[in-house]
Amino acid sequence: MKVLVAVKRVVDFNVKVRVKADGTGVDTANVKFSMNPFDEIAVEEALRQKEAGKVTEVVAVSLGVAQCQETIRTALAMGADRGIHVQTETELQPLAVAKLLKALADKEQPGLIILGKQAIDDDANQTGQMLAALLGWGQGTFASKLVLADGRATVTREVDGGLETVDLALPAVVTTDLRLNEPRYASLPNIMKARKKPIETLAPADLGVDVAPRLITVKVDEPTKRKSGVKVKSVAELVDKLRNEAKVIP
């Protein structure tokens, strides 16, 4: 069975982003970009399923600007077999991404598609669910465990207040939560090997997809900052302040 894994190039999670002075967006000039952390978990899961003999090929897909090739190379260095890059300068919103991935799925016919549950830039948490809908497949979102057997996927999901398990007919879409696995680091020999692995490059038009944004950004603001308060000297003083000044405890 072939697995498609979608990997997004995002501002590295250690970067403290700043809103541009003109309010048009956040400043991404000269900041470090990396693979979306949830997508690293998706790549790792696909590789572990391959190592367990459940999967035969892992294809890493990234959509967007030319530098997305680096993100695909990272996936290849982790162990993915080949890459597909749909190159565009247009801002891609989740619905457009889902449509592009659907077109690729129609072409590649994977048995499973794994994505991160959300990207840490737009925090939308939409693409996997949208892709499953467009393909008419079942979805196992926010997965903390994935078992593939007998043409079905059993997915344990992290939900508010606990865990939930669903059983899906394959093909299906799975989105990853943090505790699914711990992604590996690419070794130097594997990074070298990844340079020789093939990456196919396509344009959205090749896939017949209209990627025009549906949401218009009106403005981007800094959130209001919380002011730091006072230091108290003792537990007794803390309790007194919470009781009598803030009045948040009885």
Partner 1 sequence: MTALVLVEHDRIKPLPATLAAVTAAARLGGEVHLLVAGSGCRPVAEAAAKVAGVTKVLLADDARYAEPLAEPLAALLVGLAKGYAALLAPATTFGKNVMPRVAALLDVAQISDIVAVVGADTFVRPIYAGNALVTVKSTDAIKIVTVRATAFEPAKAEGGAAPIEATATATDPGLARFVGRQEAKTERPELTSARVIVSGGRGMGSGANFKLIEAVADKLGAAVGASRAAVDAGFVPNDLQVGQTGKIVAPDLYLAVGISGAIQHLAGMKDSKVIAAINKDEEAPIFQVADYGLVADLFQALPELAAELSK
Measure the CA–CA gap between 154 and 174, rounded to whole angstroms: 10
Measure the CA–CA gap between 83 and 192, rounded to whole angstroms: 15
Among 66, 67, 70, 163, binds partner 1 (CB under 8 A): 163
| 165: number of Cβ within 10 Å | 12
Number of chain positions touching partner 1 (CB under 8 A): 78
Whole-number minimum distance, CB 60 to partner 1, in Å?
22
Give the x-and-dash track for 139-158 against partner 1 (CB under 8 A).
xxxx-x---------x--xx
Among 52, 66, 169, 192, binds partner 1 (CB under 8 A): 169
Under the binding rule (CB under 8 A), the answer on residue 179 touching partner 1 is: yes
Q: Which CB atom, from 23 or from 192, has the smaller least distance to partner 1?
A: 23
- Among positive and negative, which fits the CA dihedral 50, 147, 109, 172? negative
The number of angstroms, rounded, from the C-alpha of 166 to the middle of its chain's C-alpha atoms is: 21
CB 76 within 8 A of CB 60: yes
Q: Which CB atom, from 192 or from 212, has the smaller least distance to partner 1?
A: 212
Under the binding rule (CB under 8 A), the answer on residue 220 touching partner 1 is: yes
Among 53, 198, 208, 229, binds partner 1 (CB under 8 A): 229
Among 53, 189, 216, 244, binds partner 1 (CB under 8 A): 216
Q: Which CB atom, from 205 or from 232, has the smaller least distance to partner 1?
A: 232
Among 53, 136, 198, 208, binds partner 1 (CB under 8 A): 136
Under the binding rule (CB under 8 A), the answer on residue 199 touching partner 1 is: no
CB 39 within 8 A of CB 8: yes
**Interface positions, 6-65, toward partner 1 (CB under 8 A):** 11, 13, 16-17, 19, 26
Q: Which CB atom, from 11 or from 80, has the smaller least distance to partner 1?
A: 11
CB 78 within 8 A of CB 184: yes
Which range in 46-54, 78-86, 106-114, 208-216 contacts partner 1 by CB under 8 A? 208-216
Residue 214: exposure state from Cβ atoms within 10 A (0-12, 13-18, ≥19): exposed
- β 2-6/112-116 pair status: parallel
Q: Which CB atom, from 3 or from 180, has the smaller least distance to partner 1?
A: 180
Q: How many residues does the chain have?
A: 250
Among 12, 57, 87, 129, binds partner 1 (CB under 8 A): 129
Whole-number minimum distance, CB 194 to partner 1, in Å?
28
Q: What is each CA distance from 150 to 48, 153, 169, 171, in whole angstroms?
A: 17, 8, 9, 12
Whole-number minimum distance, CB 10 to partner 1, in Å?
9
Q: Is 183 helix (H, G, I), strand (E, B) or coil?
A: coil
Residue in the structure block whose two tokens are 């995002």: 10
Under the binding rule (CB under 8 A), the answer on residue 106 touching partner 1 is: no
CB 152 within 8 A of CB 54: no
